[in-house]
Amino acid sequence: MKPYLPALAAALIAATFSTAAAAMPSGAVMEKMPGTYPMDCAKWKDKARCAALNQAIESCRSKTDDEWRACMHFPAPTAKFTPPKPRDCSMARNKERCEAHVLALAACKNILTRAEHRKCVAGQLQELATKRP
């Protein structure tokens, strides 16, 4: 009875692998397997967003990995930002600091996003601080 166990195990393993190989798609079906497919926009509340995503999926279909992520990346919408108005430094306690802030605001007045504006003002203030002895 012992000689049959290894043969039985080998037959069981072969049957398992042949079943798995038969279940794998091949040919034209295999070409369609990887990647993302267009979505059904009927269930979406925002139909325009769904259509835009489907269009992006179609245009990025040939790319893979990091190229695909970069292609599908949509920048976040930025809210309109109006830079703050310069202060009146005549009544300020620290006139030097107030004037430095006004100069920094004037240098960064053309930047339209809040985060970039803050970085610009901070950089201008740091430059002014290093210039002073």
- Model pLDDT for residues 52-99, shown as the tens digit of each residue: 888 888 888 888 888 888 888 776 666 677 888 888 999 999 999 999
DSSP per-residue string spanning 45-67:
S-HHHHHHHHHHHHHTTT--HHH
- Model pLDDT for residues 97-125, shown as the tens digit of each residue: 999 999 999 999 888 788 889 999 999 99
Q: How many CB atoms lie within 10 A of CB 121?
A: 19
DSSP state of 74: -
What pTM value is reported for the model? 0.41
